């Protein structure tokens, strides 16, 4: 149970976004092709919550990619771009938004590297239309565990390519990424949002609005009980037409920094309940609309740097799962109930209807509903994660590795039927299993099921 505390060492260690520290260092290099020979794992900005970006026990350091952030080619006729893996999405947006190009898929934070976007095969508000980021990736340059540098794509070394999309950096070090940017009509977003009073209606509306809107997402109050259970706010949006858009590009915004680490436990069911209630009732009128800055629309939390300090030194984990359409909505309901029963709550809960499955071997989303829960870490958390996973298994769903730090190998391997296929490809390119993370050691180890 890697991040549950046994090897915690905040002063000298390394952590994911959930702020649970393990021993290890990050050594950065501008030359990934050369430096990757000496490491067993690459990491970008460390925004995955758990231990995906942390060196496995016994490995001293991970290779940090953020200094390798050059744009190697861009064709403004076709929108095909090639970058080094450490380029930060915030920088990509800053450079290309005003030129009316945007990443085809963006996660909920812009403080990720392009390499990380491939390794996590990130999805966004447009998943039901555009799929994951991997769908738009054309080629990858990879240093494999065997030591070769391989240029791969859907045509060339396709197994390595597809295993690397959503492969958590484990088939090989990602060095360069070539992908298709999206041409946008203006650098502004037109958005509408609706306050919705119960879960069934929220899920119905999410599906219904997805038919006409390219971007949808719902925020859910997980503390409200009874008839109001699963009430929330549905956000839909699309790129604004040139006529609707504000003049020029959105001005740069200054972010605030969360200045201190709150005491652990400051976010609890009571305070989270108050916060959720406030968010719900201050959405007045019931339907709102307007033209907004894409930063505000895609990355509301990025306006407070280090917001993970809200959770105190004990940190936070996320549990994000997708419940396939065939399994209905009971799974979502059960997981919200699980939190209530455990006396915990999720500060920010997000539901998203997912479209078709990506071609990455371990790509997370599949057609159905995804539920993302933010859970403050305390002694009970591993048990909460286990009961949430029981629901996911019963619904034939799966979890998102990027968010996970606490699932057990048993739970993961029971829900992830694609793992053997993934490991077979990994073995072909990394026969000695040199590339590994704390997470892969925790979840991929051989067990008797």
Partner 1 sequence: MKRIVLLGATRGMGRELGRQFAGEGAELFLLGRSLEELAKTATDFKERAGGDAKVGSAYCDLEDPASFAPALQAAQDGLGTIDAIIVTAGLFATQEKLEADLDLTQRLLTVNFALTVTFCEQARSLLLAQGGGALCVFSSVAGDRGRKPVVLYGASKAGLSAYLEGLDHKYRDQGLITLCVKPGFVRTGMTTGLKEPPFAGDPEAVAADVRRALEKKKAVVYAPGMWRWVMFIIRRLPRFVMRKVGF
Contact residues for partner 1, defined by CB under 8 A: 25, 27-31, 61, 64, 67, 70-74, 76, 95, 99
Task: Tell me the two tokens of residue 160.
Answer: 């390595």
Residue 241: exposed, middle, or buried by beta-carbon count in 10 A (0-12, 13-18, 19+)? Answer: exposed
| Alpha-carbon span 104 to 181, nearest angstrom | 6
Rounded least distance, CB 71 to partner 1, Å: 4
Both tokens of 157, joined, read: 């070394």
Burial (CB < 10 A; 0-12, 13-18, 19+), residue 148, is exposed
Report in angstroms how near the CB of residue 318 gets to partner 1 at its nearest: 29
**Crossing angle, helix 199-210 and helix 330-341, to 10 degrees?**
140
Beta bridge partners of 257: 305
Shortest Å distance, C-beta 36 to partner 1: 14
Element (DSSP H or E) covering residue 281: helix 269-281
Between 65 and 370, CB nearer to partner 1: 65
Distance CA 150, CA 156 (A): 9
Give me the least distance between CB of 231 and partner 1, in Å please: 44
Based on CB atoms, which residue is closest to partner 1, 50 or 64? 64
In whole angstroms, the minimum distance from the beta carbon of 412 to partner 1 comes to 33
The CB-of-73 to partner 1 minimum distance in angstroms stands at 6
In sequence order, the β-bridge partners of residue 139 are: 153, 178
> If DSSP codes are grouped into helix, strand and coil, which group holds residue 420?
helix
Determine how β-strand 215-220 pairs with β-strand 287-292: unpaired
Q: Are strands 71-74 and 80-84 parallel, antiparallel or unpaired?
A: antiparallel
């Amino acid at each position: 149970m890697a991040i549950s505390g046994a090897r915690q060492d905040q002063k000298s260690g390394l952590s994911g976004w959930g702020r649970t520290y393990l021993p290890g260092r990050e050594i950065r290099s501008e030359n990934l092709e050369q430096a990757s020979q000496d490491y067993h794992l690459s990491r970008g900005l460390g925004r995955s919550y758990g231990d995906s970006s942390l060196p496995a026990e016994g490995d001293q350091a991970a290779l940090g990619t953020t200094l390798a952030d050059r744009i190697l080619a861009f064709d403004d006729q076709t929108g095909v771009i090639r970058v080094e893996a450490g380029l930060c999405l915030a920088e990509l947006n800053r450079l290309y938004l005003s030129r009316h190009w945007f990443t085809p898929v963006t996660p909920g934070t812009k403080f990720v590297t392009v390499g990380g976007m491939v390794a996590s095969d990130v999805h966004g508000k447009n998943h039901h239309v555009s799929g994951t980021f991997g769908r738009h990736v054309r080629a990858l340059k990879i240093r494999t565990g065997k030591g070769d540098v391989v240029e791969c794509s859907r045509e060339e070394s396709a197994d390595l390519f597809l295993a690397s999309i959503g492969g958590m950096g484990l088939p090989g070090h990602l060095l360069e990424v070539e992908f298709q940017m999206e041409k946008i009509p203006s650098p502004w977003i037109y958005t509408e949002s609706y306050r919705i009073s119960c879960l069934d209606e929220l899920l119905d509306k999410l599906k219904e609005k997805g038919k006409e809107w390219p971007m949808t997402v719902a925020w859910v109050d997980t503390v409200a009980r009874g008839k109001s259970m699963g009430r929330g706010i549905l956000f839909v949006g699309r790129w604004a037409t040139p006529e609707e858009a504000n003049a020029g590009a959105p001005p740069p915004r200054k972010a605030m920094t969360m200045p201190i680490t709150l005491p652990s436990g400051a976010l609890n069911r009571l305070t989270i309940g108050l916060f959720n209630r406030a968010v719900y009732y201050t959405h007045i009128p019931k339907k709102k609309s307007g033209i907004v800055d894409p930063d505000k629309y895609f990355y509301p939390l990025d306006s407070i740097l280090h917001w993970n300090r809200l959770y105190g030194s004990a940190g936070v984990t996320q549990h994000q799962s997708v419940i396939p359409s065939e399994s209905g909505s009971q799974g979502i309901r059960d997981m919200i109930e699980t939190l209530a029963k455990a006396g915990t709550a999720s500060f920010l809960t997000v539901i998203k209807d997912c479209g078709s499955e990506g071609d990455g071997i371990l790509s997370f989303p599949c057609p159905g509903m995804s539920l993302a829960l933010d859970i403050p870490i305390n002694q009970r958390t591993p048990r909460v994660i286990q009961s949430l996973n029981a629901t996911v298994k019963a619904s034939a769903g799966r979890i998102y590795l990027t968010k996970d730090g606490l699932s057990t190998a048993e739970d993961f391997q029971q829900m992830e039927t694609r793992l053997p296929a993934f490991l077979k490809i990994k073995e072909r390119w990394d026969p000695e299993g040199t590339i590994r993370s704390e997470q892969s050691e925790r979840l991929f180890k051989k067990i008797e099921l």
